[in-house]
Structure 1
Amino acid sequence: MSEFNYKDELSKIPNDPGVYRYFDETGEVIYVGKAKSLKNRVSSYFLKNNQHDRKTRRLVSQIRRIEYTIVLSEWDALLLENQLIKQLQPKFNILLKDDKTYPFICVTDEPFPRVYPTRNMDKTKGTYYGPFANLRSMHTLLDMFKSLYQIRSCQLPLNESNIAAGKWKVCLEYHIGNCKGPCEGFQDQKEYNNEIEQVHNILKGNLSSPQQYFKEKMLQAAEEMAFERAHAWKTKLEHLSNFQSKATVINPRIGNIDVLTIVSDEEAAYLSFMKIKQGYMVATQTVEVKKKLDESDAEILALMIIEMRSVYGSEAKELISNIKPDLEMRLNVTVPQLGDKKKLLDMSMRNVMYFRREKAERREVEASATSSKKDRILIRLKSDLQLKSLPRHIECFDNSNIQGTNPVAAMVCFKEGKPSKKDYRHFNIKTVIGPNDFASMNEVVSRRYLRLIAEEQPLPDLIVIDGGKGQLGAACDALKSLGIYGQVPVIGIAKRLEEIYFPEDSLPLYIDKKSESLKLIQQIRDEAHRFAITFHRDKRSKGSLISELEGVDGVGKVTATKLLKHFGSVKAIRESTLETLTGLVGLDRAKKVRLYFDTMAQG
């Protein structure tokens, strides 16, 4: 193997900013780097070799040729470095790939445009928005478009000549109201494109324009006394407002800004990216970057700024981060110390720290091949919810309040990831009058843990509340009144998007819907719901039975209640003998009750 005479090479390298490429003896590019001064940076690999780590020394030992490209600035060097890494994939560089994994939403450039998800980007076909690292958020948007607008889902080549020739007939989508039938000329292109313009606005994060559009349409319909049409526009406006309330709105005054934070360990760097447009979070992604050499956080951050802004098409003039790259950049990189931007930074840091912890604990779980499935799920749940200990004892509460009648609640208990039915509990709501889910939740949580404390029983490792922020807040108030708030982790799970809420935190956590830990939480929640509904039905049945028996001639509420208390169910009364009934309510009433059930059985 021929030795590389680096001294001759170094003497030829200029002091200008640029990008350098290292080749091995086979002629393959093994490393691409950028520099403010090519000469200083490249020289440092050879003249300070004893100060490098083992991986960098291994890189230097394989260098047989150096090439470089001079550029105008360090920023241009960063851009070129990013492109060359993607193109050449050198083995000593951190891995950057053109993003073809996550889907985009495409709005086509054709008469009567279509809106659909795709993983194949062809910019000649239309405008692409994304990528969407969170598929749930993408499908939420698509579902919202379907509820707000009547956009065609067919792939017919609609144009004036084809429509005029009457080539097609309207499909089922037209008949069920999802499409206005442009294929038969039932909808003009201007009206259709008005709705497509609103879709573009929403995907760009501009919700004020479609909101104003719906409001004007609603008022116009109301002035024309077309109240049914006005109500339809009002419903659309409510849909959009509901979506906005669930979306993460930062602060409209912040405008357009990117956030990229980084933490790392010896093996990898972890980054959290957020794209904020007009104060609305339009994209977010966390990524892991495997280290190849001893890259600093500042080096990786600089490279990933270019990468994430390119992937998400960001043109923001400012980027917030927890560190500043040590190079001149064509955007303002700030590390805020207070205000709304500091809150943004804190939110991003919390995401990236959670992501790093999740990755580390997932590796621990994967390394423990001998651990049982039960422990694996509990370990994953501990990681997902950032608990201090394994949740071996979980209790979940659910209210059952159908049409405001017979308010009840239920608590189910899971131990070691399995139902512990002997520990299930039913609750009749005692202190709350009328349907008030929050007050009912407060009551049952108070009663449950007041009893455990009085009996000196151990508290659970995790409390799950079936409901969103309101239900969770009511449960937390109960725990505070008992003086045990903070001793037991408590979460709320909202039904619609399976959002996990933590106390005193307005932002929900979305666990991967394929995660075993989320499936366990869903199983516990569904079991609590089933148990509550069953109790509710039993209670309603008893109330209905009392009313029903009161309809039997000679049987009043006292007699009906007495029968129900003794037998416990409709079936037991139906199967009882005349003698048994006589002993309870006398022969005359017993005959009437017996006759009632015998007549029902014959019918």
Structure 2
Amino acid sequence: MTLKEKIQQLPDKPGVYQYFDKNGHLLYVGKAKNLAKRVKSYWQFTPKLCANPQLSLRISKMIKQTVSMDYIIVNSEHDALILENSLIKQLGPKYNILLRDDKTYPYIYIDNSQEYPRFDITRKVINSKDITYYGPYSVGARDILNSIYDICKLVQKKSCLKSKKLCLYYQIDKCLGPCELPISKERYQQEVTLASQLIKNKKLLLGRLEEKMEFYAQELRFEEAAELRDTIERIERSQIKSEIDFATNEHYDIFAIESSEKRAVVVKIFMRHGKIISSSHEYLQLHEGLDLNELYSRALLGFYKDEKPPITAPILLPQSFEDKELIAHHLTKVFGQKAHILIPQRGKKKDLIALAKLNARELLKKDRETLNVKILEELQELCQLQKIPNRVEIFDNSHMSGVATVGAMVVYENAKFDKKSYRTYHLEAKDEYSQMRETLTKRVESFSKNSPPDLWILDGGATLLKLALDILESNGINLDVIAISKEKVDAKAHRAKGNAQDILYTKEQIFRLKTSDKRLQWVQNLRDEAHRAAITFHKKTKLKLDQESRLLSLHGISAAKIQKLLNHYGTFEALKSATFDDIRSLLNTKDAKTIKNFYK
């Protein structure tokens, strides 16, 4: 069936459609209330099938590359929205906009039903009517919580009340000691009220911390003063300074987007109890132009996900967008109450939007000053990459004679290493090829939760490059891959060998660049970080294995038998969960008893 015939036979039902290029690569995923009507709007059927001349430049370019399409029928437009969002996150199509900031933000909470309540941190709704939430916090939640316990005389730990005895916290005047002393609820509530005021009012909290920092400095307790200084900086980092004060208990979530030719930034500001408590932002690369409707949809779907937030607030936006009502309907289901998406035209709410847009413009300006786009653009041109590699994942494996075999993935985004996104893997494979296959397969399996990047870089040659491309293709994912390996000198590829030069491999070409080439140095820097992460994790794993091997040896299990067990089970964790009969079949009854008793 030709593309034209397939389009003309589309059903008048809700669903999701996918466009593919001549190589079978996914170009675009879209949703539709009516598949036939939506998809046909992209095309002009006479005198031949071509792009509708009324399309935007971005969509017109995409349609010109489209040679085939697939579609999935669903029950409703809402179901289409959810499926579309899931496919975009998992497959990262070329012409869709992908936001990666899908983490949940922490809240500080207190359970008022307890006799002596204490504050803690959560990221989810707790099933109790007596919970009070404060947040969300983009950064600094733990610092705020620790500061509260440093200033207020609250029950410090969950286990404190169970002990029924006064502890060190009472001795250093950081707890009233209700575990043993007859502290009235009214007296304890005074401390809770003070803590609540400090959480709500960062200015008041920071003032108390600064007083304490100055006291430590005057007492020559410089280490403690430095710790407080760092705490203050982290708490300040999450907030946008503003004179806007509603003098009420109103809550708002504010979203704003600003863009340049190649970059955009999404700013999120959270107002609670009439005051701005925190903010966050996310950059994204504009590979094929900007679609504000899609970007606002992705931002709201990505932030709220499918879980009710501890605090639901009206959403303020600077402008409306095509899917506004559909997103509001979805969020109403998620919140369990009506979701309000507002476009303020005047007053303080309009001022909040203006503040968000101002900060977005400043972030975009700062981004241009710090991001080394030139090298990325030159690498894109050299290696014929589909996108400027703003987010890169780099892989390496490490082992010692097949022992403590591990894989590591490091992440480079927005011109710096994102260490919170690093991942390490315990591997069962023994050879380099199988180890890389196992590592990459594990990563692909997590794409539905953590979207694919713009580029993969592998520590290896052409064989591993082909392996990666095959894995991606078999999972329907179109992603650029670069491999980097040492040129062999005297049949060996030594990292420290002076004459050995690095070679870059892409799907189409092999590059032997000069050692002074900035593009090569950029890839080398990323490869070296992955190598460092893999070796560090290998050493940690090997140390743990050695310690466990020594303990088993002390219980009479020989080194040869330990190696036999590891060859069979792969890890000590797997051995620990093995049955008595399984171990006995490998060794003997006596050793099986020894091992099972050891792990008890």
TM-score when scaled to structure 2?
0.42
Q: Which has the higher helix share?
A: 1
Whose radius of gyration is greater, 1 or 2? 1
TM-score when scaled to structure 1?
0.42
Q: Which has the higher contact order (CA 8 A, sep 6+)?
A: 2
